[in-house]
Structure 1
């Protein structure tokens, strides 16, 4: 009779077994499934609303003088305001009463602040805009006239803000949600003593690697699903132009997200291993949460500050948001995302090494919170 014991699984097999266990447990969780469905529904609603808003634009407010009133006669989608002179029409644009004004070329010299008040082109009138010229007006004119901007923008604030917000919210939600779940899972296994059974069969580091890999797969699956919803939704609702400049930055964002998530997942698992009760998780994960939130807010609030944005694009915890934003705006040289990704990859390797030492030195310690130096020394 053969009484030999079955061979122990290899490290790779152990990692994959834990990975399957993590994915299966999350997919069986009603809370995870419901929250994911809600997330997808919100994303879909946002895309549909954007398409509806784009297809039903508000009336464009336009000021005209007696000489240019006939130009907009019969045009739809315009809210016309009469001005006595070109100077008065320009004041209406400056104070935001209207979005644009049509003024006679011979009155351009009456307007202060124009860089070139000469009569440009073969037309009898010029469109005055604030930071830009409303496309709803220009598209209806039979011939495109000259355009003068009263306040030419150095950067498009709204584009910067919403792109930073979009990248930032996705990374912040994924990192904080999955990171917190990993920490809670580790503590739960310690409380129920399941971890003692697990490490009797597989190496401790394989257990950590499987947890990180399983949650990374789930997080990336959510990101890809959100991207698919956005792309299909924008295409169906006729917002193809919105996607024009997002191709490259989205690919870079996926790469930065992958490494950034692995970095944080490793540290959250280590933070969870340092405590033995669910009530104590906040004491070890709070610093990690701040490392995610603080750079995110800095990038969003200082998105129009070139120096701050450049610095944050090389900080590992903010690079997944800052660098794709700079790429979308065309403010980064071709080599900058490569260098930033290398910095993030090296930081990721260091974080995995430190996280593995903390995890190994704390996993079997019960009772009071394990101190950081003690966990590192006992691994």
Structure 2
């Protein structure tokens, strides 16, 4: 009785199923994923409540100055019996500042702020007279929210790419050490083995992204941040699309990096440059999230585009065609990375002993 060899597509799916099954049976993977989701939920809920209920500045007043800050929500007012008692509360650290009468002041405002080290900016702002401001192009996202969104996109991409990329490289080395890879490639093509590894881990990574998006939506809904949620809808979809191709790019390179070594102890020598390619754009996006020029450049670099471009879309800084152009560059780079990674993987997979040099892996 003859058996029919599986097709390339069947081989790819068999390897992908093997990758998914091994991860889901791994307790460390399941526990780390659960912890990541719980941290994300706690962060979203805490951020939502913090945004809805910002901390108030504590101020001591007297009967003469109480009317000046009456009804101001950003202040927590404590009325003292006189100016000396109000200043004493400042010295003790009970309040941040005191608003007391100033008999020697010229003009209609006859009160002064007494602070221990520096006057609270919130109190100074509500007591200052500011001119009317007209904004021609309104942007509802404030600096704090922009910073939090940048961190959110960056952390998700960084953790997913690092965690899954590292496990792909470790899996390849483990198969080389145990000689399992020799059995596998005797039954299926090398390119099917690589494609299955990449597809299996991509499915798991995308499942985490979907779960994180669902958690963010639930958390923002619970905390009454409907406006933030509606503004994040489109950017989250674009982030998922960019993440998909960005992850495939990195997964291919991590698999190739793992094939270049034969021992677990040597993985760092080939994967560290890839880790830097992930970490450097993340840091740059966090630092320069308020700089349109730098963000514009980062949104077209394949390794930073999955974070920079969705952030620019959220901030309404990107033209309609820019995400499409950035995605096209990322897809083209992804295809090139797959071709290069497949060549390195194929030429290095059966070579044992010392680390394979990159030039040898490309030219063998």
| TM-score band w.r.t. shorter chain | 0.7 to 0.9
Aligned mate of 2:99, from 79, 82, 96: 82
Q: 1:45: Cα distance to partner? A: 1.7
User: Which structure exhibits the higher relative contact order, with contacts defined as CA atoms closer than 8 Å and separated by 6 or more residues?
Assistant: 2
- Aligned partner of 2:88 in structure 1 is none
Structure-2 residue corresponding to 1:365? 351
How many residues align? The count is 334
Cα distance in 1, alignment partners of residues 339 and 297 from structure 2: 25
The CA deviation string for residues 120-145 of structure 1, in whole angstroms up to 9 with x for no partner, is: xxxxxxxxxxxxxxxxxxxxxxxxxx
Q: TM-score normalised to the size of structure 1?
A: 0.80
Of 290-299 and 66-75, more deviation after overlay is shown by 66-75
Match for residue 312 of structure 1 among 298, 303, 310: 298
Match for residue 48 of structure 1 among 45, 58, 63: 45
Alignment pair present for 1:189 and 2:175: yes
Q: 1:341 aligns with which of 286, 310, 327?
A: 327
1:32 maps to 2:18: no
CA distance in 1, matches of 2:51, 2:321: 36
Contact 2:99 2:111 in 1 (8 A): no
Q: What displacement does 1:71 show?
A: 6.7
Distance, in Å, in 1 between the alignment partners of 2:52 and 2:162 is: 36
The correspondence for 2:227, drawn from 241, 262, 278, is: 241
1:76 to 1:362, Cα distance in 2 relative to 1, 3 A: closer
Q: Do the aligned residues in 1 keep the contact of 2:65 with 2:99 (CA within 8 Å)?
A: no
Q: Distance in 1 between matches of 2:140 and 2:35?
A: 38
8 A contact 2:141–2:315 mirrored in 1? no
Please state whether the residue corresponding to 2:187 is helix, strand or coil.
coil
Q: Is the 8 A contact 1:160 1:303 kept in 2?
A: yes
1:227 CA drift (Å): 0.8
2:268 to 282, 295, 311: 282
Pairs within 5 Å for 1:1-379: 3=1, 5-54=2-51, 56-59=53-56, 70=67, 72-73=69-70, 78-80=75-77, 82=99, 96=121, 98=123, 100-102=125-127, 108=129, 116=131, 156-378=142-364
Query: RMSD between aligned alpha carbons?
Result: 3.1
Q: CA deviation at 1:50?
A: 3.0
Deviation at 1:236, TM superposition (A): 2.0
CA distance in 2, matches of 1:377, 1:255: 33
Deviations 1:283-304 (A, max 9, x none): 0001101111111111111112
Unaligned runs of 5+ in 1: 109-113, 117-145
**Paired residue for 1:137?**
none
Alpha-carbon distance in 1 for matches of 2:109, 2:357:
72
Gaps of 5+ in 2: 78-97, 103-107
Contact 1:179-1:264 at 8 Å conserved across structures: yes
Q: Distance in 1 between matches of 2:202 and 2:122?
A: 50
